[in-house]
Chains A and B, each alone.
Chain A
Amino acid sequence: MNQTLNAAFVNRRGRPPGGNFELYAWFFMRISGVLLLALAVFHLFWMHVVIGVDNIDFAVVAARWENPLWKLYDFFLLAFALTHGMNGLRMIGDDYVRRPGLAVAFKAVLFVLYIAFIGMGAYIIFTFVPPEPVAVLP
């Protein structure tokens, strides 16, 4: 048996090296995939077909975020889509970034981007305060 190859899948105790992370990642991709099938496709349909790109402006988004349920919807979409996407990039990196040092650097960049963008998105969803409607006096 080829020891080098075998060591990539199980260690001496017959467990995968690095614990069950890859198993959970696989499972997460399936669960988030099902959720995103609904969340992302509906988002695209809602914004492009029901509302229409021509009609979208600041006021439309402000009105949308008046409703906490839309905020929650947008946050779930953000969190699941970004986690699913970043994990996908990590998997692609595992296939193509072969030099160990570069692979670590690639994952570090992905991690920083992940934290920064989920932070930016969550920040604006939950701290956005719509401006007072400007009173049009006669």
Chain B
Amino acid sequence: MTSSRTVYRRGRPILEGLRYRGREGMFAWLLHRATGVGIVLFLLVHIFDIFLIGFGPDVFNKLLFLYKAWWARILEVFLLFGVLFHALNGARIIVQDFWPRLWRYERQLIWAEMAIFIPIFLWGAYVFLQPLFR
């Protein structure tokens, strides 16, 4: 049995992984993971800062620099990017999972997704960053 055993090496360096030319599908997969990890890390921070509202208005209002500082506004644009991309890309995956024939049109669906994502993201980023230029 051991003689016919194939060893599958799964851990690969990032640079080696990026040389794989999977085009749109690969980048959608990669971004889905990256944005997912980003969102869940933010979620842990967010649960903790809302938990601190129990310490009363003084503590909580001071803590809100986490959202109001100039650097926080920029991070919020990343959050918007992450949530919006993860939501739309997830919707595409669900649609493809329940109608498997659509997997053949994955590339086209990703571009359709981008057509929805880009205008909403640009508008949202503009709204999010507005206070910095006032």
Where the two chains meet, the residues of A that have a C-beta atom closer than 8 Å to any C-beta of B are 2-5, 30, 33-34, 36-37, 40-41, 44, 48-49, 53-54, 56-59, 61, 78, 81-82, 85-86, 88-89, 92, 95-96, 98, 113, 117, 120-121, 123-124, 127-128, 131
> Which among A2, A98, A123 is the interface contact of B10 at CB below 8 angstroms?
A98
**Which B31-88 residues have a C-beta within 8 angstroms of A?**
33, 36-37, 39-40, 43-44, 47-48, 50-51, 53-54, 56-57, 60-61, 64, 67-68, 73, 76, 79-80, 83-84, 87
Number of A-B contacts (CB under 8 A): 102
A-B contact pairs, 16 of them (CB 8 A): A2-B4, A2-B5, A3-B1, A4-B1, A4-B5, A37-B87, A44-B83, A59-B57, A61-B60, A81-B39, A86-B40, A88-B36, A113-B44, A120-B47, A124-B50, A128-B53
Where the two chains meet, the residues of B that have a C-beta atom closer than 8 Å to any C-beta of A are 1, 4-6, 10-11, 33, 36-37, 39-40, 43-44, 47-48, 50-51, 53-54, 56-57, 60-61, 64, 67-68, 73, 76, 79-80, 83-84, 87, 90-91, 93-94, 97-98, 124, 127-128, 131
Q: A48 to B127, alpha carbons, bound, how many Å?
A: 8
Known: A4-B1, A124-B51. A82 touches B64 (CB 8 A): no
Q: A2 to B61, alpha carbons, bound, how many Å?
A: 61
Interface of A is mostly: helix
Excluding A89-B37, A92-B36, 19 further A-B contacts by CB distance (< 8 Å) are: A3-B1, A4-B1, A40-B87, A44-B83, A48-B128, A53-B68, A53-B76, A57-B61, A58-B53, A58-B61, A59-B57, A85-B36, A88-B36, A88-B40, A89-B40, A96-B11, A117-B43, A117-B44, A124-B50
